[in-house]
Chains A and B, each alone.
Chain A
Amino acid sequence: MQNTLPEGFADLEPFVADWAIATMGARLERRVNSTPAERRAFYAAAAPRTGAALEYLNTIPFEEIPKKPETDRLMKLTLALAEIALTEEINGQAVEAEHARSNRQIFVVKELDGL
């Protein structure tokens, strides 16, 4: 598998295709349409690495992060993990299924430009 993330984060490469998502609206949509198994797998791999990912990204000037594809990808992966942390740490699968119904109603009206 090609490494499209910064060095040291190759273990997260399997999740890039599904979870390195550009916008908050699209991340919500992915969450709502994901399966419990997908969420569990993503959280299991990415949650223990989030601290390290942010520590690494914090060394880069914020406006530079989107300019390099690999750092942009890692940033977006952590943002998707922020969503999935809620399903795995707070909600649980039964509640998440019910949330998905309401979350389909709640649309992102305006979100931050850029990242």
Chain B
Amino acid sequence: MSFVTKADVAELGTDPIPTEPYHSEAQFERERDLVFRRAWLFAGRDVEIPNPGDFLVKEWDICNASILVTRGKDNIIRAFHNVCSHRAAKVVWEERGNAPGFNCRYHGWRYGLKGEVLSVPDAESFFGLDTKNCGLTPVAVELWNSLIFINLNPAPEQTLLEFLGPVAPKILEHSIEGFETCYTIGGDVTVNWKCLLDNFQETYHLASVHHLSVADRSVSNENPRSHPISFEFFGLHRLMGVWGNPHRKPDLIEGIAIKNGGVISAGAIQQKAGDALIRHPNWQLDVHGIFPTMLLDIAPTFFFIHEFFPIAANRTRFHSTVWFPKAMNAGQRFSQEYSVAAFRDTVAEDLAVLRTQQRGMLSGAKKTFEFQLSETMCRHSYLTLNKYMEQAEKQAAE
């Protein structure tokens, strides 16, 4: 059984990392303009809006953007700024739903699923209003492998596939078809988005923060320090293979949940779902880090997606969505409930510590920190974020 070595990650260097980017306003401003207005941003899965008229809204506070994603009567998925053409009020106030059209609450303008103006009250009292050309402002949207991405750049620098590059075929080695049931947990926390992201993409903290919940799924004599199995880097994106302990003995109810379906962090208890890819005997899951803020964690019988929405330099909204196949019986439904509750507990453990970390950095007590081998995904994120921003600054200078 092999685990990652320092040689595997030598290309990323070993420098200490400054704390400043993880809490400063200046960095937040740079990220807004140089990252979030340029990159492809995850906006949900097509199975969340399966029927014509279905819609969902994603709020990107850092850019003051509210993005409406619709499925039209023609089954096509479109995205728009959720901003009324009249005087920029918010049109759709619900987070998701189904509707043939959308009414703006301010003056009653009505829009269709293609963003087109359906009606304007008292239109005659305008001076030459061209209702055929004042629909909702479209936003670039692309669908790949059931994942919807939007881009706030009116003319995106790359297509989605160009942006994903070689991480796309890697993700396709798994199948996320047939996973149509989901549960989302979320919160608004006083933590920088990068600190949240980093927490969910390193295994170093498993033995301590999660010493009750997850540790003995991640630690054993064979892997006493819960090292990852592998790292792979794909330009902006990254992948970590996580190991699971084959000797874990589940408790009573946990055992029942495992028996009835896949359970998160079940160690090496791998229940194949059809032709699910199993990378090697004690593989637990693959953590795909999709730049800038998305984590797509795929295991044999479920997967989950973390979304981090920066609100301020020291505040983030997160949504973590767990995807399962539809439960076919009570036992599977029970197993899903247990999994999500267990998952939520680990997030609670993380949040307790993360809040203190954010405050610690704001104190100014520490100017730098060190990433170790198991935290390489965090280092990669730091380096690629800088590179992506510097690239934009160089382009602007030319």
The interface of chain A, by Cβ under 8 A from chain B, is 24, 28, 47-48, 50-51, 54, 57-58, 60, 62, 65, 75, 78-79, 81-83, 85-86, 89-92, 95, 98-99, 101-103, 105-112, 115
**When the two chains form their complex, are residues B184 and A98 in contact, meaning their CB atoms are under 8 A apart?**
no
Known contacts A24-B340, A85-B338, A110-B182; is A105 also within 8 Å of B257 by CB?
no
**When the two chains form their complex, are residues A89 and B253 in contact, meaning their CB atoms are under 8 A apart?**
yes
The interface of chain B, by Cβ under 8 A from chain A, is 95-96, 181-189, 212-213, 251-254, 256-257, 260, 319, 321, 327-331, 333-334, 336-338, 340-342, 344-345, 347-349, 351-352
**When the two chains form their complex, are residues A54 and B334 in contact, meaning their CB atoms are under 8 A apart?**
yes
Residues of B within 8 A of A58 (CB): 329-331
The 7 closest A-B pairs by CB, nearest first: A57-B330, A85-B253, A102-B348, A89-B251, A109-B184, A82-B338, A110-B184
Nearest A residue to B183 via CB reads A111
Q: List 6 A-B contacts (CB under 8 A).
A: A50-B252, A82-B338, A83-B337, A86-B213, A92-B212, A105-B188
Residues of A within 8 A of B341 (CB): 28, 82-83, 86
- How far, in Å, is B359 (CB) from chain A's closest CB? 15
- How far, in Å, is A6 (CB) from chain B's closest CB? 12
**When the two chains form their complex, are residues B345 and A86 in contact, meaning their CB atoms are under 8 A apart?**
yes
Nearest B residue to A108 via CB reads B185
Known contacts A47-B252, A79-B334; is A108 also within 8 Å of B351 by CB?
no
- In angstroms, Cα B334 to Cα A111, docked, is 14
Main secondary structure of the interface of B (DSSP, over half): helix
- How far, in Å, is A28 (CB) from chain B's closest CB? 8
- In angstroms, Cα B341 to Cα A82, docked, is 8
**When the two chains form their complex, are residues B348 and A103 in contact, meaning their CB atoms are under 8 A apart?**
yes
**When the two chains form their complex, are residues A54 and B185 in contact, meaning their CB atoms are under 8 A apart?**
no
- How far, in Å, is A97 (CB) from chain B's closest CB? 12
**When the two chains form their complex, are residues A99 and B348 in contact, meaning their CB atoms are under 8 A apart?**
yes
Residues of A within 8 A of B213 (CB): 86, 90-91
Residues of B within 8 A of A106 (CB): 185-187, 344, 347-348, 351
- In angstroms, Cα B340 to Cα A95, docked, is 19
Residues of B within 8 A of A81 (CB): 253
- How far, in Å, is B84 (CB) from chain A's closest CB? 26
**When the two chains form their complex, are residues A99 and B349 in contact, meaning their CB atoms are under 8 A apart?**
yes
- How far, in Å, is B334 (CB) from chain A's closest CB? 6
**When the two chains form their complex, are residues B186 and A107 in contact, meaning their CB atoms are under 8 A apart?**
yes
**When the two chains form their complex, are residues B212 and A91 in contact, meaning their CB atoms are under 8 A apart?**
yes
**When the two chains form their complex, are residues B337 and A89 in contact, meaning their CB atoms are under 8 A apart?**
no
From A51, A85, A98, contact of B254 by CB (8 A):
A85
